Amino acid sequence: MKENIEATGFDVLFNAALNKGTAFTEAERKKYKLRGLLPPGVSDPDVQLNRALQNMRRKHYDIERYIYLSALQSRNERLFYRLILENIQEVMPLIYTPTVGQACKEFAAIFRQPKGIYITAEDRGNVSEILNNWPEEDVRVIVVTDGERILGLGDLGANGMGIPIGKLALYVACAGIQPNQCLPVMIDVGTNNQEMLDDPLYLGLRHKRIQGEEYDALVDEFISSVQVAYPKALIQFEDFLTPNAYRLLNKYRNQVLCFNDDIQGTAGVALAGVYASTKISGVAFRDLRIMFLGAGSAATGIADLITYAFQKEGFTEEEARKKLWFVDIDGLVIQSRDDLLPHNLPYAHDHPAADFISAIKQIKPHMLIGATGFPGTFTQEAVKLMAEINERPALFALSNPTSRAECTAEQAYNWTQGRAIFTSGSPFEAVRYKEQYFKPGQGNNAYIFPGIGLGAVVSEASRISEDMFLVAAKTLANMVSEKDLSVGAIYPPLHNIRDVSLQIAVAVAEEIISSDLDSIRKVDNLQQKIEEYMYQPAY
């Protein structure tokens, strides 16, 4: 909602975009007819921010902090985003993982105010009408889920709405997408989660998920209605079940402006980590052999982007794939297996069967990338073996939350005598190993997707290409400083996130402009234009 100078009184105070609460000055109180509607003391904005921060901190549980922050977002948007931006390390885990997982589980119980659009299986034929009920006309970023695979928590049905809400808050905080241009969407097709169906508080459709043609038709109607209502909007698919995630991405990626963050965003952030790790290991990117533990959507998405990156180095697709190996719950992914899913087949090599340890011995990878969802799967034996084979073994324990990481930061350093290049999907505390101090970085998708979105929005892209994720990954890796590397971090500190998103957006926009994708606008002073667009949560 744009600054509405016509609004007065409660129309200002109860409008989150306009409200400044106790920070309205005397002159503003007069101008907006607020005198008498607020306590007489005028708060300095810094004092007001500090009050909000203290209120958040005095809560006893993170879920209470989440509820507090959600209410603040509904009450005073600028204060909410300033609080996030100035305390990003502390607040990001509260508005996104891990707390958002808890918030989704309890979504119905803690529900206060609607944020976003619900499209249900009963709305077939009327989706446009529903989108028209949204009060904003210039939506640029939509995050949509059907709630079937929420983080590692499975099918949470309509409770999954917490995810689009959280991701869009990160778009605004990390990249400065304008809040009024963001739209969270829940496509509610029911849930197979009996606990939800039995919960009297549950707010979604109370039946099992519709699937097949009916499901596809609803998603299709949603996508086409968005093209009419918001033709410039970027659609981010989020937390769909792996087969649907791939199917929808492959169906729409060449038709509309969209991407899937679980597949492509994860891939971008992991590839940036791979690039940065070579600065420590000294192994050239083109010489890398990489082994994945886990062969689901996260790992395969990473491998697909790395394949593409290798191709850009001059390898054929086949040569590139031969450098990438997968081990899943049933062992090495090889051609002779008959239990593989379609997305595994390009990486199924001609090789004898092997378990994880034998596979490491035979293939001698430079790095392990774990995306299993199961803790302890980078065993001591596996990590020690990696340290025998490599001077600086890279260990990416990407499973979320922290308790699910394939190994801990401490284990990685202890089992390799401090030689591991470690990163994880969720944060770990700093580790001391003998005289060495390590502060490993977190491969957080928030490094990539907000910048991609910003670049696409400002340059009015028509499609999201693999090249955009490639340049985003390279840009992110180039922002890792010697200081970061000296403590084992292969990502820049999170407090630099706005600058990271800006640089990624510039690189992505340049990529859009220089590529053959259509609807390209020539933009002078790209960085300045992007900076001018970015939302600043200041009064």
Over the window 204 to 243, marking each residue x when it contacts ligand NAD by CB under 6 A and - when it does not, the resulting string is: --------------------------------------x-
Tokens of 280: 């420590």
Over the window 351 to 380, marking each residue x when it contacts ligand NAD by CB under 6 A and - when it does not, the resulting string is: --------------------xxxx--x---
Do you find a cis peptide bond into 401, omega within 30 degrees of 0? yes
Over the window 388 to 427, marking each residue x when it contacts ligand NAD by CB under 6 A and - when it does not, the resulting string is: ----------xxx---x--------------------x--
Q: Which of residues 430-469 bind ligand NAD (CB under 6 A)?
A: 443, 445
Q: What sections of 390-458 are H helices per DSSP?
A: 409-415, 449-458
Instruction: Please choose, out of 57-65, 127-135, 296-304, 494-502, the segment that lies near ligand NAD by the rule CB under 6 A.
Output: 296-304
**CB-based contacts of 154, cutoff 8 Å, min separation 6:** 148, 193
Does the footprint of ligand NAD cover residue 276 (CB under 6 A)?
Answer: no
Does the footprint of ligand NAD cover residue 264 (CB under 6 A)?
Answer: no
**CB-nearer residue toward ligand NAD: 384 or 529:** 384
How crowded is residue 345: how many other Cβ atoms within 10 Å of its Cβ? Answer: 11
Does the footprint of ligand NAD cover residue 484 (CB under 6 A)?
Answer: no
Instruction: Please choose, out of 65-73, 103-111, 166-174, 325-333, the segment that lies near ligand NAD by the rule CB under 6 A.
Output: 325-333
Q: Name beta bridge partners: 259.
A: 236
- Burial class, 462, CB count within 10 angstroms (exposed 0-12 / middle 13-18 / buried 19+): middle
Q: Determine the Cα–Cα distance for residues 319 and 310; give it in Å rounded to an integer.
A: 9
Catalytic residues: 96, 167
Q: Which of 68, 75, 32 is nearest to 53 (CA)?
A: 68
Least separation in angstroms between residue 412's CB and ligand NAD is 15
Does the footprint of ligand NAD cover residue 296 (CB under 6 A)?
Answer: yes
**CB-nearer residue toward ligand NAD: 329 or 345:** 329
Least separation in angstroms between residue 70's CB and ligand NAD is 23
Does the footprint of ligand NAD cover residue 294 (CB under 6 A)?
Answer: yes
Using Cβ positions, the residue closest to ligand NAD within the complex turns out to be 296
Tokens of 381: 């034996």
Least separation in angstroms between residue 266's CB and ligand NAD is 4
Query: What's the sign of the alpha-carbon dihedral 210, 215, 217, 220?
Result: positive
How crowded is the C-beta side of 411, counted as CA atoms within 13 Å? 18
Does the footprint of ligand NAD cover residue 72 (CB under 6 A)?
Answer: no
User: 3-state DSSP call for residue 480?
Assistant: coil
Tokens of 453: 């979105």
Does the footprint of ligand NAD cover residue 116 (CB under 6 A)?
Answer: no
User: 3-state DSSP call for residue 175?
Assistant: helix
Size of the site for ligand NAD (CB under 6 A): 27
Q: Which of 522, 464, 448 is nearest to 234 (CA)?
A: 464
Tokens of 492: 């820049």
| Residues of this chain that bind ligand NAD (CB under 6 A) | 152, 242, 262, 266, 269, 293-299, 327-329, 371-374, 377, 398-400, 404, 425, 443, 445
